[in-house]
């Protein structure tokens, strides 16, 4: 069975819905998904991936590794358990600006995006190093 690596991009549209798309493909099939939430858009996206696998006679989604890149509104929609105010403080970003980034009203510059990404990576590292007793 062939393994597929797919890089997907998740964005919030002007209509308030979310889209997932990729330039990658399986055979002649490209993928896309839409939904009122990131979870629904991902579900729709994975249905298109499954359909492509079936056309290639490789019916297992186990053959697929998807990495997702999020815009900030999509990130906070999917990881909705993250408290935006606390995250802004953790990342060293103004709270009201972070709320504007979350809603898609405003977009961070390159330096602020790097600061936010660094905070996300720190959280991921801290979580991966943690154990529960």
- The SS3 call for residue 132 is coil
Residue 121 neighbours by CB under 8 Å, 6+ apart: none
pLDDT at position 59 is 66
C-alpha distances out from residue 45 to 1, 24, 78, 94, Å: 21, 12, 15, 34
Using CB atoms within 10 Å of the CB of residue 68, give its burial: 0 to 12 exposed, 13 to 18 middle, 19+ buried: middle
Banded model confidence at residue 2, pLDDT cuts 50, 70, 90: confident
pTM score over 0.85: yes
**Mean pLDDT for all residues in the chain:** 94
Q: Give the model confidence (pLDDT) of 6-38 as tens digits.
A: 999 999 999 999 999 999 998 889 999 999 999
Are 116 and 93 in contact, with CB atoms under 8 Å apart?
yes
Q: Give the model confidence (pLDDT) of 59-115 as tens digits.
A: 677 789 999 999 999 999 999 999 999 999 999 999 999 999 999 999 999 999 999
């Amino acid at each position: 069975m062939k393994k597929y690596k797919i890089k997907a991009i998740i964005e919030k549209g002007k209509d308030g819905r979310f889209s997932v798309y990729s330039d990658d493909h399986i055979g002649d099939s490209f993928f896309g998904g839409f939904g009122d939430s990131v979870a629904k858009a991902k579900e729709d996206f994975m249905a298109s991936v499954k359909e492509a696998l079936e056309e290639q006679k490789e019916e297992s989604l186990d053959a697929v590794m998807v990495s997702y890149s999020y815009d900030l509104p999509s990130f906070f929609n999917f990881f909705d358990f993250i408290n935006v105010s606390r995250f802004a403080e953790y990342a060293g970003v103004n709270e009201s600006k972070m709320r504007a980034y979350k809603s898609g009203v405003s977009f961070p510059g390159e330096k602020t995006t790097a600061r936010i990404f660094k905070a996300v990576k720190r959280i991921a590292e801290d979580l991966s190093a943690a154990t529960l007793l």
